[in-house]
Amino acid sequence: MDKEYFNVLNGQIDFEMSDKEYSELITTKANQTIRPLTLKLRMKQMKNKMEEEINISKIKHENNQYQQNNDQYYKNIFFLYKKRSNTFKNKQILYNSETKSPLTQRNFTQYSPKRQKQQFNKTMLPSSPIINNTRTKAQKYQDYLKINRQIMKHKGQLDESILNLLEQKVHIAKSLKQSFFKCGINSYDQTLRNIQEIKQNLNEKIIKECDTIYKEKQDHKLNVLEKTSTHFLRVLDLMKEMDEQIFQYMLNYKFKNHINDQNAILEDIIKMRDDAYNDKGQIKTQQNQSIFLSYFQLQQLKFMNFQASKKRANSYIESQQNQIAELQATSFALQQKVEDLQKEIKELQSQNHKLNHHISQLKDQNDNLKFAQQKEATFMIEVEHLRSDNQRLITLLGGQDKDLRFLSQLETQKSDLPECLLWVPQKAFEIAHQFREKYKDSDYLGDKQIQLLLFELNKVWAIRQFEQQKLQNSINNLEKQKIKSKTNVPYSEIQLNQQVERLKKQIKDLKKENLDLYANRPERGTRSIRIASANNTRK
3-state SS record for 202-222: HHHHHHHHHHHHHHHHHHHHH
Share of residues in the chain with pLDDT > 90 (%): 1
State the DSSP code for 1: -
What's residue 37's pLDDT?
46
Res. 417: pLDDT tops 60: no
Number of C-beta neighbours around residue 361 at 10 A: 14
More confident residue, 174 or 93: 174
Q: Tens digits of per-residue pLDDT, 461-470?
A: 898 889 888 9
Say how far apart CA 233 and CA 213 lie, in whole Å: 30
Mean pLDDT for the chain?
67
Select from 425, 430, 433 the least CA-distant residue to 465: 425
Number of C-beta neighbours around residue 148 at 10 A: 14
Number of C-beta neighbours around residue 169 at 10 A: 21
What's residue 6's pLDDT?
47
Q: How confident is the model at residue 259 (pLDDT cuts 50, 70, 90)?
A: low
Q: Tens digits of per-residue pLDDT, 10-26?
A: 445 454 555 556 556 65
What's residue 288's pLDDT?
47
Long-range Cβ pairs for the range 492-499 (8 Å, 24+): 492/12, 499/365
Instruction: Rounding to the nearest 10 degrees, give the CA dihedral for residues 287, 292, 293, 294.
Output: 90
What's residue 155's pLDDT?
56
More confident residue, 539 or 167: 167
**Lowest pLDDT segment from 252-261, 382-391, 404-413, 528-537:** 528-537
Instruction: Rounding to the nearest 10 degrees, give the CA dihedral for residues 220, 223, 225, 231.
Output: -140
Distances (CA, A) of 4 to 19, 380, 456: 14, 20, 44
Q: Tens digits of per-residue pLDDT, 169-207?
A: 666 666 655 554 444 445 556 656 766 677 677 667 767
Model confidence pTM above 0.75? no
Say how far apart CA 522 and CA 530 lie, in whole Å: 13
Task: Let me know: does 4 contact 25? Beta carbons within 8 Å.
Answer: yes
Determine the average pLDDT of the residues in 64-85.
Answer: 60
Task: Let me know: does 283 contact 275? Beta carbons within 8 Å.
Answer: yes
Say how far apart CA 146 and CA 142 lie, in whole Å: 6
Q: Tens digits of per-residue pLDDT, 311-348?
A: 777 777 787 778 787 887 887 888 888 888 888 888 88
More confident residue, 369 or 310: 369
Distances (CA, A) of 318 to 178, 180, 205, 207, 314: 92, 93, 62, 59, 6
